[in-house]
Amino acid sequence: MKKEINLNMPSSSEGMSRIDGRLKVTGAAKYSAEYTVEGLTYGVLVGSTITKGTITAIDTKAAERAPGVIAVITHVNAIKVPGFQSEAGKPSAVRAQLKVFDDNKIVYNGQPVAVVIANTYERALYGASLVKTQYSKEQHETSLNASIGKGFPPHGDGLYKRGIQDAWKSAPYKVEQEYIVPTDTHNPMELHAIIAKWEADDKVTVWDKTQGVKATQHDIAQLFNIPVDNVQVNSKFVGGAFGSALRTWPHEVVALIAAKMVKRPVKLVLSRADMFTSVGHRPYTWQKIGIGATADGKLTGITHEAYGQTSTFENFTEGPVGVSQGLYACPNVNTKYNLVALNIGTPTWMRGPGEATGAFALESALDELSYLLKIDPIELRLRNYAETDPESGKPFSSKFLNEAYQMGADHIGWAERKPEPGTLKKDGLLVGYGIGCGMFGAYRSGATIKAKMTADGILLLQTAVSDIGPGTGTAMVLIAAEQMGIPAGNIRFENGASDLPQAPTQGGSATTASVGSAVHYACIELKEKFQKLTGNDSPKAIDYAQVLKQHNLPLLEVTTKSTAGDDRDKYAMNSWSVHFVKVLVNAATGVVKIDKVASVADSGHIISPKTARSQVVGGAIGGIGMALMEEAVMDHRYGRYINNNFADYHVAVNADIPQIDAQFVNKPDPYINPMGAKGMAEIALIGMAAAVANAVYNATGKRVRELPITPDKVMA
């Protein structure tokens, strides 16, 4: 059903800053490792120094005798986690995952083999250095390229087919190439951390870095076989995650085991090196694309094959081939997706998961085709513009990507681009322009909001959702201000605790659409309560505080649940983006400098323009890092990352960031939710790496198909 959308936002929304901004910049915001708990102890992990094999002996005596050490816990003496145990004929209660401290098997380098608990962090760190482990080594496999023949489909046969298989091969114009996205790690500023405190044998409180307090609550309850209501998870502030905090990891289980055993609260903070092995990564992925077209640029077929990393103990899937199935109108598409099990920690979702990886290959291949056809890359995309969803045939709930093309081209100065590579120069540097597009499902799930209006005129909104930094609270306040007709300064937003009303995990660019819908409907329900009190059904403004005082009421409250809605059955719902990049390349050194970025998001109605711009800028920066510098390098002889630190794992810093022009189509989607808003976190990055690679080719004539685009590859 088409929703009525009110776009008369309060004027303050145009420049409203984050509601938690002052807390963050003054240091008043408390993150998970910063809470003071009586009797707190400190844990430090000891990681495996081999990549595959078994522990034959582990000497903890020196560590146990060290000053301040309270306990050293290994597989030898650890309590058994109920959720890890299997009953006869039945699998364990939890999904396949690393059963930490459950046995002596080693399946990846850096796997926790012990934790040292002490009365200070420094003493725990020293104690950890004294633990000595002996191993029986086995031959490990960490190279996807070397093991690609062992690939297997994650589900069924891993194949998708629409129309004629491999139709691209019979096209008059065709491109077939291979593309590689390396292992990228999340590396947020805040390290992963947890404080675990058992209140009783079956009751626990944790302060944890998590993108979903409800999901973590259920995981802990299942792992330790205790009532869900006896698990309290707190995650008020999260200092970045990008997907790394979307699940419960081994270090969290270790802290819970340790706190239960020493009968004191335990704080465990990962080291920066641990962040490379213990909380997932964007998986190394090899892709091959074949793409064919007629002379006038109409696509006749796409074949997209991909092999991605997973661990040996669980399958992680992200589906990089999906973008080729739905981004363009093409009658014949077939894809294949396989996993390769390696001795690594399990990968996980990283911003723009699957689509970011797949879009690098697809958008690079399409750019290569544009040069073969001698058709402008924008024009080629417009000639293959999908007016309806190519997979389902459903109409789109909204799509204005064609307008985004024009906006971005105008802002980047696309008219200055030269179709012949290497022909445009400025101040002795080669100049190039590139384009890359992105798509991501526009999702909405159920959420619940408790809204309380008190007699002092303050509206309190409560929900369990985490906020990893996109400005969720700010958007919720603006939605409520619009509906209630009160200043945003009179609204408070409380979140990040599992005893608050149900909310989804923050991920998949769905938070505003999901929680925002609950806020919208809660405010309508609350207004109706006030109207019943006053007997006034007119839409005129209500003095809520005055009404409460007149009726001698301290507050009015509602608890409202919003569901996902049924319009997804009728419409294909996606967010869209287009990224334009201008690069300057030093022909003598191969150094690439990003001169300008123009990113345009087609993500429905923009609720909070200021924080939305930050989302797009942040995604662009992540895409620049993905394109030019990020790569976790493994020495396959030892199965160990050799650049597991901020000195050697390069991320984009201030000197790498150009002028970023963030633009929005800003047209509401009439079906997805009452605000008309769609997600933008993922599309802010998806397609950016290809835009950079395509710009480098336009500047130099050098096509780099393996990320990152380092000077040696430009010069090769």
Residue pair 234/205 in contact (Cβ under 8 Å)? The answer is yes
3-state secondary structure of 624: helix
- Strands of the 491-494 sheet, one edge to the other: 491-494, 459-462, 447-454, 555-562
In this structure, is the dihedral angle defined by the CA atoms of residues 420, 421, 422 and 424, taken in order, positive or negative? positive
Residue pair 580/435 in contact (Cβ under 8 Å)? The answer is yes
DSSP-assigned letter for residue 284? P
Q: How far is CA 18 from the centre of its chain?
A: 21
Residue pair 258/171 in contact (Cβ under 8 Å)? The answer is no
d(CA 607, CA 709): 36
Residue pair 174/290 in contact (Cβ under 8 Å)? The answer is yes
Closest CA to 362 of 330, 323, 409, 326: 323
- Strands of the 53-59 sheet, one edge to the other: 105-106, 53-59, 132-137
Residue 557: beta bridge partners? 452
3-state secondary structure of 176: strand
Closest CA to 125 of 59, 37, 32, 63: 63
Residue pair 600/407 in contact (Cβ under 8 Å)? The answer is yes
Question: What is the phi/psi pair of residue 581, to 5°?
Answer: -130, 135
d(CA 301, CA 679): 30
The residue annotated as part of the active site, out of 14, 391, 682, 706, is 682
Amino acid at 655: A
Count of CB atoms situated within 10 Å of the CB of 247: 23
Residue spans of alpha helices (H) in 413-506 = 472-484
CA dihedral of residues 453, 457, 459, 460 (deg, nearest 10): -80
* DSSP of 350-368: -SSTTHHHHHHHHHHHHHH
Amino acid at 190: E
Catalytic residue list contains 494: no
Would you mind telling me the total number of residues written for the chain in this entry?
A: 716
3-state secondary structure 95-130: CCCCCCCCCCEECCCCCEEEEEEECCHHHHHHHHHC
CA distances from 269 to 124, 196, 273, 274, 555 (A): 11, 12, 11, 9, 41
Closest CA to 383 of 396, 400, 402, 398: 402
In this structure, is the dihedral angle defined by the CA atoms of residues 243, 246, 249 and 251, taken in order, positive or negative? positive
CA dihedral of residues 467, 469, 472, 477 (deg, nearest 10): 110
DSSP-assigned letter for residue 214? H
Rg over alpha carbons for the chain, rounded to the nearest Å, is 27
58: its two tokens: 């582990």
Q: How far is CA 605 from the centre of its chain?
A: 22
DSSP-assigned letter for residue 566? S
Contacts of 569 (CB under 8 A, 6+ apart): none
Region at 422 (left for phi over 0; alpha for psi -120 to 50; beta for the rest): left
Amino acid at 427: D
Amino acid at 496: G
For β-strands 333-342 and 299-311, DSSP reports them as parallel
Residue 287: beta bridge partners? 179, 306
642: its two tokens: 């050799």
Catalytic positions, written as ranges: 682
